[in-house]
Chain A
Amino acid sequence: MKKEEWYEKSKTCKERNTDFSTVSGVPIKVLYTPDDIADMEHDRDLGYPGEFPYVRGVYTNMYRGRLWTMRQFSGFGTPKDTNRRYKYLLGHGQTGLSVAFDFPTLYGRDSDDSFAHGEVGKCGVAIDSLRDMEVLFDGIPLDRISTSMTINPPAAMLLAMYIVVGEKQNIPAQILTGTIQNDMLKEYQAQKTWIYPPEPSMRIISDILEYCSEHVPKWNTISISGYHIREAGSTALQELAFTLKNGFTYVEHGIKAGLSVDKFAPRLSFFFNSHLDFFEEIAKYRAARRIWARMMREKYRAQDPRSYLMRFHTQTAGCTLTAQQPENNIIRTAYQALSAVLGGTQSLHTNSMDETYALPTEKAAKIALRTQQLLAYESGVAHTIDPLGGSYYIESLTNELEQGAYKYFEKIDKLGGVVRAIDKGFFQKEISRSAYSYQKALEQKTKYHVGVNIFEEDEKAEIEILKISPQVEKVQRSQLKKLKRDRNGKRVREKLLMLRKAASDGENLMPRILDCVREYATLGEMCNTLKEEFGVYHEPIIF
């Protein structure tokens, strides 16, 4: 049968009454054929895994060599509570750590700060000083495990604490492996944990890049994150475009700070969301790899191929979990995990079914980890590289997303770049508009969410919930009091003064922060010291 005949015939078939578009609203054709990828050249546009432009994967043999790292984001209560959970997860086959901090820590505030009241240990683990980090990693060998820390404005302080914990375990910083999120641009755009305005924040980031390239060379210094942009309501394309544009902005800042691009770019890593639309997500990861490689080589003139590699972590989409029929979240998460794996992720977090109620219980966290292990060890999906490569649909979606991203880059450039666009509220507006239109689509039932707007049930879910005791806050506060009594207050004040001086002199902050940390200066003390120099950020209110 000829193509045209088939299309004529297909038009006569009755279609289900549904909106055939991706979850981001991109229309989907009834069939994809070689015509849809006619312009594509195999060697130029696809190539081979581990080779330019890396669409099919960043490493030559991908999961045949090593499976992705199973890295469950976790943290709650006191450092002792979380240390216990880490040992539980590692004991069940988890292969990397990922620290969730509580809100006060994320904002660089101590547990006795007035703003911390009611929030200590609730959304993650509370860290006030090096003392807490020592407890958090007690009995966990930092030379054998890599640790990711979701921390942004106080990233330098938490990294410094980690380095010093390493020192105390006799592990040199040179061999420490892990990641700090340290991606401030997306904070202003989406996640909204900030302290300082964008300019000084970018300076701190450049200081970290510079310091780590010398002293902590295996550390991933920025995890350029689309995850939160997506959670805040963006489409897949917005997530892709904004995240990569942020990445290029860090590259430009690093170059402007006098670093050679190949010195720091190989340590940049990425963090994406895995949302509901199975194929769109896979195409997103593939497009991201190609865009990064092309731009790094062509625009930023990187020479070292490691600078072309877009290595990324994935987390399944928290915003897609439902409070209704929570067990369904296990299945939802499994599909999302599968798209991350088919998309070639380097590490993965799978959400727990109970997270629309509270932080996960031990049991729920274990099921989430097992979901990954099923994929890795039972399903066979890791046996060959990029198994969907060459699919007309996937390749066509990949191309479309790549082109869409370039259009966004142009738009952002016209606004004067990322920082200016943040000032103008561009990202914030784009994201809230997408969030609102998705909500409307759910309410008009042009998009479905099982248990929420289709196949609803009346009965309330009965599931076990993790409770954080109010004792946690009391314990943290009294520990903090004790710490302040026990340490050498005079030396702490001296080191903080030197930090302040480094901030105003433009000297690299990292060595000064390390000095403060070694004297057990608290996180709040260090962040407040920098606030005096850098000021604080206020966002334009847009909805």
Chain B
Amino acid sequence: MISKIRVLVGKPGLDGHDRGAKVVAAALRDAGMEVIYTGLHQTCESIVEAAVQEDVHVIGLSILSGAHMTIFPRILKLLRASKAKDIMVIGGGIIPADDMKKLQRIGVHKLFGPGTPTSEIVDWIKDNAVKPKRPTTRKKKSVRKKVKKQVRKKIKKKSKG
């Protein structure tokens, strides 16, 4: 068992539809998970970097812009390059069924369509985010908080460009 599941909820690209991401973030938080929400307009690089530094179990991406076939593969590639393949990638948004199948084939763990109850997402994460994180990389809460601050700063800096 792991003590607290950590999830990074990300909004990659230019898509400004953040209702779903925020609702899911709030639901995961209320379900006892530690949620890091990136805010809007993140690059894939900044999302993966934050996920690795925060040592999260799951990255959840919300994409309603139609750019899912570009963004998900990029995130998976960056995770592999960062040797962080153990971080699960899930997502939701406006994604046609065919694309969902393709994305799950290349390694996206789970995609949730519109109308999915948040409880279903919570349950899925609880059932699947069971792999304990590498104990050596686990940091004390105070340290993690500091890291989080730094990461946020970094994200902010990056999105300026």
Contact = CB atoms under 8 A, between A and B. Distances in A.
Interface string A220-234: 000000000001110
B16 interface: yes
Nearest to A460: B97
Contact of A106 (B14, B23, B71): B14
Contacts of B160: 536, 538
Residue among B15, B35, B152 having the largest count of chain A Cβ atoms under 10 Å: B15
A436 B29 CA distance: 12
A117 B23 contact: no
Interface in B1-60: 13-19, 21-23, 25-27, 29, 35, 37-41, 43
A118 B117 contact: no
Given A322-B114, A358-B94, A538-B159, A543 B65 contact: no
Contacts of B39: 539, 541
B96 A103 contact: no
B67 interface: yes
Interface residues of B, number: 41
B26 A123 contact: no
Contacts of A539: 39-40
A465 B99 CA distance: 11
A45 interface: no
B66 interface: yes
B128 interface: no
Given A103-B15, A449-B115, A357 B23 contact: no
A103 B114 contact: no
A442 B120 CA distance: 13
Nearest to B25: A543
A118 B67 contact: yes
Contacts, number: 109
A323 B35 CA distance: 27
B22 A103 contact: no
Interface in A97-150: 103-104, 106-107, 109, 115-119, 122-123
B70 interface: yes
A122 B65 contact: yes
Contacts of A451: 115
A93 to B, nearest CB: 28
B160 to A, nearest CB: 6
Contacts of B70: 117-119
B119 interface: yes
Residue among B14, B15, B96 having the largest count of chain A Cβ atoms under 10 Å: B14
A356 interface: yes
Contacts of B13: 103, 115, 118-119
25 contacts: A117-B70, A119-B14, A119-B66, A122-B65, A123-B65, A192-B16, A232-B18, A324-B115, A356-B114, A357-B97, A358-B66, A432-B19, A432-B23, A435-B22, A436-B22, A439-B27, A449-B115, A465-B96, A465-B98, A468-B66, A541-B37, A541-B39, A543-B21, A543-B26, A543-B35
Interface of A: 103-104, 106-107, 109, 115-119, 122-123, 191-193, 231-233, 319, 321-324, 356-359, 432, 435-436, 439, 442-443, 449, 451-453, 460, 465, 468, 470, 536, 538-539, 541, 543
